Amino acid sequence: MGKPIKLCLLYRDMWQSSGKYVPRVDQLNRVAQPIVDMGCFSRVETNGGGFEQINLLFGENPNKAVREWTQPFNDAGIQTQMLERGINALRMRPVPADVRRLMFKVKKLQGTDISRSFDGLNDANNLELSIKYAKEGGMIAQAALSITYSKVHTVDYYLNLADQLIGMGAEEICIKDMAGIGRPVSLGKIVAGIKKKHPDILIQYHGHSGPGFSVASILEVARAGAEIIDVAMEPLSWGTGHADLLTVHAMLKDAGFELPDINMKAYMEVRALTQEFIDDFLGYYISPKNRLMNSMLIGPGLPGGMMGSLMADLENNLQSLNKWMAKNNKPEVTQDELLIKLFDEVEYIWPKLGYPPLVTPYSQYVKNVALMNVMQVMKGKERWSMIDDNTWDMVLGKSGKVPGEVGEEIKKLAAEQGREFFTGNPQDAFPDVLDQVREEMKSLGWDFGPDDEELLEYALHPEQYKAYKSGDAKKSFEADLAKRKAPAPAAATSTAQEATAPASPKSMTVQVDGEVYQVKISYSNNGSTTETKAVTPQSAAPTETVAATGSIIAPIEGNFMSTKDASETPIKVGAEIKKGDLIGYIESMKVYNAILADKPGKVVEVCAANGDYVEEDDVLVKLA
- The helix-helix angle for 97-109 and 434-444 (nearest 10°) equals 70
Q: Please determine, for residue 488, whether its predicted confidence score (pLDDT) is greater than 50.
A: yes
Pairing verdict, β 506-512 and 515-523 = antiparallel
Identify the top-confidence range among 21-30, 586-595, 608-617. Answer: 21-30
pLDDT score recorded for residue 311: 65
List the domain range (segments joined by +) for residue 554.
550-624
Q: How confident is the model at residue 516 (pLDDT cuts 50, 70, 90)?
A: very low
Burial class (CB in 10 A: 0-12, 13-18, 19+), 492: exposed
Same domain, residue pair 340 and 356: yes
Q: How confident is the model at residue 146 (pLDDT cuts 50, 70, 90)?
A: very high
Q: Please determine, for residue 360, whether its predicted confidence score (pLDDT) is greater than 70.
A: yes
Question: Is the residue at 161 inside a domain?
Answer: no
pLDDT score recorded for residue 307: 62
Which of 409, 429, 449 represents a domain boundary (last residue)? 429
Q: Please determine, for residue 218, whether its predicted confidence score (pLDDT) is greater than 90.
A: yes
Which of 544, 568, 601 represents a domain boundary (last residue)? 544
Mean predicted confidence (pLDDT) in 192-211: 96
Q: How confident is the model at residue 296 (pLDDT cuts 50, 70, 90)?
A: confident
Give me the numbers of helices (H) and strands (E) for the chain, helices first please: 22, 19
Question: Is the residue at 236 inside a domain?
Answer: no
CA distance readout (Å), 385 to 314, 413, 593, 596: 20, 10, 12, 13
Q: How confident is the model at residue 566 (pLDDT cuts 50, 70, 90)?
A: low
Q: How far apart are CA 12 and CA 47, in angstroms?
A: 6
Q: How far apart are CA 290 and CA 312, in angstroms?
A: 10
Q: Please determine, for residue 503, whether its predicted confidence score (pLDDT) is greater than 80.
A: no
Question: Is the residue at 311 inside a domain?
Answer: yes
Question: Is the residue at 20 inside a domain?
Answer: no
The domain tally of the chain equals 3
Same domain, residue pair 416 and 508: no
Specify whether the CB–CB gap between 378 and 345 falls below 8 A: no
Same domain, residue pair 569 and 509: no
Same domain, residue pair 527 and 605: no
CATH at residue 621: 2.40.50.100
pLDDT score recorded for residue 305: 56
Q: Please determine, for residue 526, whether its predicted confidence score (pLDDT) is greater than 60.
A: no
Same domain, residue pair 415 and 318: yes
Q: Please determine, for residue 528, whether its predicted confidence score (pLDDT) is greater than 50.
A: no
Please tell me whether residue 587 adopts helix, strand or coil conformation.
strand
Mean predicted confidence (pLDDT) in 93-117: 97
Same domain, residue pair 343 and 404: yes
Q: Is the dihedral of CA 569, 572, 574, 579 positive or negative?
A: positive
Question: Is the residue at 422 inside a domain?
Answer: yes
Question: Is the residue at 489 inside a domain?
Answer: no
Question: Is the residue at 215 inside a domain?
Answer: no
Same domain, residue pair 568 and 531: no
pLDDT score recorded for residue 313: 66
Same domain, residue pair 520 and 585: no
Question: 152-183: string of b/e by CB count within 10 Å (b at 16+)?
Answer: bbebeebbebbebbbebebbbbbbbbbbbbbb
Same domain, residue pair 623 and 527: no
Which of 477, 510, 544 represents a domain boundary (last residue)? 544
Kindly report the pTM of this predicted structure.
0.78
Please tell me whether residue 307 adopts helix, strand or coil conformation.
helix
Share of the chain above pLDDT 90, in %: 57
Phi, psi angles (nearest 5°) of residue 195? -65, -35
Q: Please determine, for residue 514, whether its predicted confidence score (pLDDT) is greater than 60.
A: no
Q: Please determine, for residue 165, whether its predicted confidence score (pLDDT) is greater than 60.
A: yes
Same domain, residue pair 620 and 516: no
Please report the beta strands in 128-231, taking only residues with DSSP state E, as ranges in sequence order.
Answer: 140-146, 172-177, 202-207, 228-231
Mean predicted confidence (pLDDT) in 505-528: 42
Same domain, residue pair 517 and 565: no
Specify whether the CB–CB gap between 391 and 593 falls below 8 A: no
Within 10 angstroms of residue 504's Cβ, the number of other Cβ atoms is: 9
More confidently predicted of 92 and 546: 92
pLDDT score recorded for residue 504: 44
pLDDT score recorded for residue 435: 97
Same domain, residue pair 316 and 409: yes
Question: Is the residue at 239 inside a domain?
Answer: no
Please report the beta strands in 10-91, taking only residues with DSSP state E, as ranges in sequence order.
Answer: 43-48, 79-84
Give, as one character, the DSSP assignment of residue 225.
Answer: T
